[in-house]
Amino acid sequence: MSGKIVVAIDGPAGVGKSSVGRSFAGEINYMFISSGKMYRALAFKALEKGISPSDEQALLKLAVSSDWSFKPVQGPEPLLYLDGRPLDRELSDEEIGKATSSVARLLSVREFLVKKQREIGAAGGIVMEGRDIGTNVFPDAPLKFYLDASPQARASRRVAQLKQAGLEADYEGILKMIIARDEQDSKRAHNPLKRAEDAVYIDSTSMSKEQVCQAMVNAFRAVMEGR
Ligand code: DC
């Protein structure tokens, strides 16, 4: 069989799934989708409307009644629009991250967003990153990656990013937050973060972004040659 496939990328918070995934998608000329942004967008809208991020019924209603769309912009990652409003940087706030963790625990909300994610990937030509992409959203994806790095390496990278942006960074605090987020993501009842058995495992602890991206491109070429 030929044609464009779906590539799944999963892994813990702060491992670089988005930044490496975006470069990788650019290299292979695929579209890049961060599924976490969909969970974040819903949490963002809920907070704006004063809805609790653990009120499952209200959140499901909010998700179903919203207009979800992606519009192409420059680069492999389209911009997410919720009810015609573009959402991007505002989704990275720490407050939104915390609320998103609660939203992502709710089964009916997950089922709704997973359905949307499957629609987005239906035609192939997509690199999608998240926590359950290879295990739940696209269990039959011909290529799956599980990106990993030690919590210490992820915390150091985050500190460097913040410093580069001229912001204050507290390594110990960030490390604690990363460990807590790992625990939350991997211990929740529905579709927890888990390594798919058939995923290519990449431990990026001592790899550069370019090296990880190259390893992914090589794996992609090998899969495509075999099809
Ligand atoms: O990758 P991220 O930090 O943007 O994810 C935000 C939250 O959403 C995080 O708590 C994990 C959750 N999430 C999820 O449960 N399933 C996904 N496919 C993507 C993200």
**Ligand 1 lining (C-beta closer than 6 Å):** 13, 35-36, 39-40, 100-101, 104, 130-133, 185
Q: Which of 33, 37, 38, 39 to mutate to test the pocket of ligand 1 (most atoms within 8 A of CB)?
A: 39
Q: Which domains does the chain have, with CATH numbers?
A: 6-222 (3.40.50.300)
Mind listing the pLDDT tens digit for each residue in 30-44?
A: 999 999 999 999 999
Mind listing the pLDDT tens digit for each residue in 72-106?
A: 999 999 999 999 999 999 998 888 988 998 999 99
Say if residue 140 is exposed, middle or buried (CB neighbours under 10 Å; 0-12, 13-18, 19+): exposed
Mind listing the pLDDT tens digit for each residue in 159-206?
A: 998 898 898 999 999 999 899 889 988 999 999 999 999 999 999 999
Question: Cα(35) to centroid of ligand 1, in Å?
Answer: 7
Task: For ligand 1, atom 6, name the residue with the nearest CA.
Answer: 36
pLDDT at 1: 45
**What's the predicted TM-score (pTM) here?**
0.96
Question: Cα(183) to centroid of ligand 1, in Å?
Answer: 13
Task: For ligand 1, atom 13, name the residue with the nearest CA.
Answer: 36
